[in-house]
Amino acid sequence: MEDASEQKTIISSLAYHWSEADRAVIQFPKSRGLEYSRTFTNGGTASMGRLALLPLEILHNIVRELDFESLGAMRCLNTRSKDIVGKLPAYRDIATFAHNALRALSATGLLSKYSAKCLYSVLCQDRCFGCIGFGSFLFLPTGRRYCFSCIETNPEMVVVSTSTAAALFGLADKALRQIVVVTTVSGDYGIYQKTHRRRIQIVSRQEATKLGILIHGSEEEMERAVTLGIHRGNVLGDNDQPRKVVNGSIPQRPGANDDTLPFMACTPFPYLDVQRRRINKGVCCRGCEYNWYRRDEDFPRGYNISQNLFRNLNKIISEDEFLVHFENCRSAKMLWDEYILKRKELSESVRSTIFRT
C-alpha cells in the first residue's frame, strides 16, 4: 500500500471533482454563506432569560434542535448568544463546509424546515440514502443524502409541481403544507443545462403519495377521490366536507414530465470526516475518463460496454474509495506509470491529446 504522501499524489493527479454535476443542481458561484445576510447580522442586546444560566453543554443540546433560521435569530440577541451558536459544532461545521446548502435552503424557503442536528447528522455520513454509493447531494424535500445516479433514476427522487400533486392524490393546499414544499430557484439545471426562469413550487411525489393515502384512509379511497375530483385538506372528520374540484383533470404545466425537476430540488452537500476534520466532495477517476474516450480504439468492435464505461465515467466516490479503485483500474495505473511517475502533468491539453487520439 502506498504511503500517505504517495496517496495524496495519486488523488491530486488522477482523481477530479466532477464540477458539471454541481452545476446541474442548485449552486451559487463563490458562495459566501449566510454570515453576510440580514438574517445572520451580528449585534443586539436582548436577554436570553433563564437560558443564560445553563451550562454550555446543556445549551448546545437544546439549540441543536433549532433550525438555521432560528439559530440565525438567536445569534442576533447578544454577544453571549452569538458565542453559544458559533461554538455549536452543527452550526459551525455546516456554516463553514456546507454554506452553499444553507443558501439553497434559504432561497427555496426551507431554512426553517430542518434542525441543525438533522443536517449535521447527514453532513457526517457519506452514504447515499437510495443505494450504497457515495452521496454528494442533499435532496431538499426530505433532507436526505443521494448520489448523482439516484437523482437521475431513483423513483424516490421524482418531484412534481404542487398543482400536479394536488390532482394526482386529491390533496388541497392545506394538506400539501404538511410536507416540504420547495420553491424553485431560477437557473440552468441538469447536465444539459435546461433554463428555468419561472419559479414554481414542487414536492416529492413519494411524500405526496404517502400523505394522500394517510388523508384519504387508503390507496383505494385516494384513487376514488381523484376520480371524483375531490381534494381533501386533512383526515376526513364528522365536520369536514371534502372540496369538489370543478375541473379534476391533471395539469400538465408547470412542472409535469420534466426530467430536470429532481435537479431543482437538490444541492451539493459535502461529507465531513469528523475524526480527521476533512471535507470530501467526492471524486471521479481519470482512468475511467480515459476508458470512455478511448472506447472505440481500445475495446473490440461489437463488445457492448458503453453503458458500463459511461456509468464508471460519472461515478462519484470518496477519496478513500478512490485509493482502493486505483489498485484495480488498469488505465489509472497506466496513467500513473507513464505520466505521473515520469513527472508529466496531465493537463487539459495533454488529456485532449492522449484521451481523444
What's residue 242's pLDDT? 54
* Residue 315 placed within a domain: yes
Residue range 64-118, pLDDT digits in tens? 999 999 999 989 888 888 999 999 999 999 999 999 999 999 999 999 999 999 9
| 141-146 long-range Cβ contacts below 8 angstroms, 24+ apart | 141/179, 141/180, 141/182, 141/202, 141/203, 141/204, 141/207, 141/265, 142/180, 142/204, 142/207, 143/113, 143/114, 143/118, 143/119, 143/180, 145/269, 146/266
Q: Which residues contact 22 (CB under 8 A, 6 or more apart)?
A: 268
Instruction: Please count the structural domains in the chain.
Output: 1
Segment 161-173 shows an average pLDDT of 94
What's residue 43's pLDDT? 56
Q: Which residues contact 174 (CB under 8 A, 6 or more apart)?
A: 233, 234
Closest CA to 317 of 287, 348, 355, 295: 287
Helix (H, G, I), strand (E, B) or coil at 45: coil
* Residue 300 placed within a domain: yes
The length of the chain is 357
**50 pLDDT higher than 80:** no
pTM across the whole model: 0.85
* Residue 197 placed within a domain: no
What's residue 255's pLDDT? 38
* Residue 196 placed within a domain: no
| C-alpha 287: how far from chain center | 27
Top-confidence residue, 250 or 341: 341
**250 pLDDT higher than 50:** no
- Specify the amino acid at residue 314: N
The parent domain of residue 341 ranges over 283-351
In angstroms, what CA-CA distances link 210 with 181, 213, 218, 235, 296? 15, 5, 10, 13, 47
Beta partners for residue 159, in sequence order: 204
* Residue 226 placed within a domain: no
* Half-sphere exposure in the Cβ direction for 269 (13 Å, CA): 30
What's residue 172's pLDDT? 92
Segment 12-16 shows an average pLDDT of 95
Residue range 20-44, pLDDT digits in tens? 999 999 999 865 555 434 444 555 6
3-state helix, strand, coil in the chain (%, to 5): 50, 15, 40
DSSP 8-state class, residue 337: I
* Residue 186 placed within a domain: no
**141 contacts 179 by C-beta, under 8 angstroms:** yes
What confidence category does residue 51 fall into, taking pLDDT thresholds of 50, 70 and 90?
Answer: confident
CA distance 24 to 266: 9
* Residue 332 placed within a domain: yes
Helix (H, G, I), strand (E, B) or coil at 307: helix
Closest CA to 59 of 142, 134, 116, 144: 116
What confidence category does residue 346 fall into, taking pLDDT thresholds of 50, 70 and 90?
Answer: confident
**353 pLDDT higher than 90:** no
* Residue 257 placed within a domain: no
Top-confidence residue, 356 or 200: 200
Helix (H, G, I), strand (E, B) or coil at 113: coil
- Give the CA diameter of the chain: 80
Torsion of CA 20, 24, 26, 27, to 10 degrees: 20
Residue keyed to cell 488522477: 14
What confidence category does residue 335 fall into, taking pLDDT thresholds of 50, 70 and 90?
Answer: very high
**176 contacts 234 by C-beta, under 8 angstroms:** no
Segment 327-335 shows an average pLDDT of 94
